[in-house]
Amino acid sequence: MATLPYWRLSGFYLFYFALLGATAPFLALYFHHLGFSSARIGELVAIPMLMRCVAPNLWGWLGDYTGQRLLIVRLGALCTLLSFALIFVSQSYAWLALVMALHAFFWHAVLPQFEVITFAHLRDQPERYSQIRLWGSIGFILTVVILGRLFEWLSLDIYPVALIVVMAGIVLCSLWVPNAQPSSQGRAPTAGGFLKQLRSPGVLAFYACVALMQMSHGPYYTFLTLHLEDLGYSRGVIGLLWALGVVAEVLMFLAMRRILLTFSVRRVLMFSFALAALRWLLLGSFAEHLWVLLLAQVLHAATFGSFHASAMTFVQRSFGPGQQGQGQALYATLAGIGGAAGALYAGYSWNTLGPTITFSMASVAALAAAVIIATRLQEDRP
């Protein structure tokens, strides 16, 4: 492990998730600033998630077929930057919808292939993944805090420029990362290909729960910032609250190596889904109380940190070297389907049903995932 390019891999995650930190809390706010209704905001936010249903599978198959995963990462990062720059041409609904779809087609090509490269570098120590991935969370934190303060001082009109700067960082970091291919050493041959592995016990149930988990995040990623503004919180405080959630995520990533060596993936996933159900109830019904809001944000350690690290471990264990790209792509696809469904239902229900019921529906989705994992996924030895 002395040759592990730790900082090169970590630097890429830092900038990649800095872009998520620039979009998740502020994209809906920017569309609101442009004057769009909540329904149109939900649709615009859902478009990149819908594109996530298509793009990762195409790029995942291409990565497994050609083995040129790093080339896909680099081209995807560059094309993301170039296509998003079209936002400066017009800010009409139709044009923004096009920009959201086009840049997302390339953006969603990047991460699944890079995850395969990361695990290829880690080889026989996949539990160290969280030690690298935590830098993505740090990038998210830095971006949320900086932009939260920046938008208090300056107009949201500078928002597209901020995103272009972060995208340029992703491009540069992709050029710094060395390539690696998944190794079949120590793994049994996988006969029957990707579809046979997909039909292994519990695998389809796992992917269904990925969709449910992301669907439950729909109100959170689409309307949390607007929800907290309506409750009287300032943009600077809201940025700090988003950052608090990711600080908790970072601490969880630091602990995940020991957790996954102690507890089964099944148990960690059940724990994550159950706490997600609690978190959405707190945000929907009690967010006006600061201490409850702080607790809800700390629970991000479970709803993303432990969930994502254990999910990546499950995918890595479930597919052979020749199917890793497709396994990661399917994860991204199901997450995209769930995320798009969540953004759409949140957009349509926010004004008609209100935040409490909207978040309660998210809680039901997370609870359903916990039940499915408990009943359909086989216990694995840590």
What angle in degrees, to the nearest 10, is found between the helix axes of 159-176 and 6-23? 160
Note whether 165 and 245 are same-domain residues: no
Mean pLDDT is lowest, of 195-199, 264-268, 275-279, for 195-199
Q: What's the total number of domains in the chain?
A: 2
pLDDT digits (tens, 9 = 90+) for 317-353: 888 777 877 888 889 889 889 988 998 999 999 989 9
Note whether 257 and 174 are same-domain residues: no
Domain annotation covers residue 33: yes
Domain annotation covers residue 184: no
**Cβ neighbours of residue 255 under 8 Å, at least 6 residues apart?**
none
Note whether 232 and 333 are same-domain residues: yes
Note whether 45 and 149 are same-domain residues: yes
| DSSP letter assigned to residue 299 | T
Domain annotation covers residue 32: yes
Query: What is the end-to-end Cα distance of the chain in Å, rounded?
Result: 21
Domain annotation covers residue 13: yes
pLDDT value of position 189: 47
Note whether 31 and 174 are same-domain residues: yes
pLDDT value of position 324: 77
Contact 315, 327 (CB under 8 A): yes
Q: How many residues does the chain have?
A: 382
Note whether 124 and 69 are same-domain residues: yes
**Cβ neighbours of residue 381 under 8 Å, at least 6 residues apart?**
264
Q: Which tokens belong to 183? A: 């190794």
Domain annotation covers residue 187: no
More confident residue, 52 or 305: 305
Q: Which tokens belong to 213? A: 């988990």
| pLDDT above 90 for 163 | yes
Note whether 47 and 168 are same-domain residues: yes
| pLDDT above 50 for 216 | yes
Name the residue range of residue 158's domain: 1-179
Mean pLDDT of the chain: 89
pLDDT value of position 82: 98
Mean pLDDT over residues 2-15, rounded?
Answer: 89
Note whether 235 and 161 are same-domain residues: no
Mean pLDDT over residues 80-91, rounded?
Answer: 96
Mean pLDDT over residues 97-119, rounded?
Answer: 92
Amino acid identity at 51: M
Note whether 235 and 360 are same-domain residues: yes
In this structure, the dihedral spanned by the alpha carbons of residues 28, 30, 35 and 38, taken in order and rounded to 10 degrees, is: 0
Task: Tell me the CB-side half-sphere exposure of residue 263, using CA atoms within 13 A.
Answer: 14
Q: How far apart are CA 152 and CA 8, in angstroms?
A: 33
> Residue 315 belongs to a domain with what CATH number?
1.20.1250.20
More confident residue, 31 or 155: 31
pLDDT value of position 2: 44
pLDDT value of position 154: 84
The domain boundary residue, chosen from 156, 179, 202: 179
Note whether 127 and 250 are same-domain residues: no
Domain annotation covers residue 186: no
pLDDT value of position 292: 96
Mean pLDDT is lowest, of 115-124, 182-191, 302-311, for 182-191
CB atoms within 10 A of CB 123: 15
Contact 130, 253 (CB under 8 A): yes
Amino acid identity at 125: Q
pLDDT digits (tens, 9 = 90+) for 58-74: 888 888 888 899 999 99
Percent pLDDT > 70 in the chain is 96
The domain boundary residue, chosen from 179, 211, 241: 179
The domain boundary residue, chosen from 148, 179, 210: 179
192: left (phi over 0), alpha (psi -120 to 50) or beta: left
Note whether 157 and 251 are same-domain residues: no
Contact 22, 169 (CB under 8 A): no
Mean pLDDT over residues 80-97, rounded?
Answer: 96
Note whether 359 and 242 are same-domain residues: yes
354: left (phi over 0), alpha (psi -120 to 50) or beta: left
pLDDT value of position 382: 53
| DSSP letter assigned to residue 305 | I
Q: How far apart are CA 115 and CA 369, in angstroms?
A: 24
Domain annotation covers residue 188: no
pLDDT digits (tens, 9 = 90+) for 222-235: 899 899 999 999 88
Domain annotation covers residue 146: yes
* Maximum CA extent, the chain: 59
pLDDT digits (tens, 9 = 90+) for 359-372: 999 999 999 999 99
| pLDDT above 80 for 260 | yes
| pLDDT above 70 for 183 | no
Mean pLDDT over residues 239-268, rounded?
Answer: 90
CB atoms within 10 A of CB 376: 16
| pLDDT above 80 for 164 | yes
pLDDT value of position 1: 43
CA neighbor of 339 nearest in space, from 198, 222, 206: 222
Kindly indicate the confidence band of residue 81, based on its pLDDT and cuts at 50, 70 and 90: very high
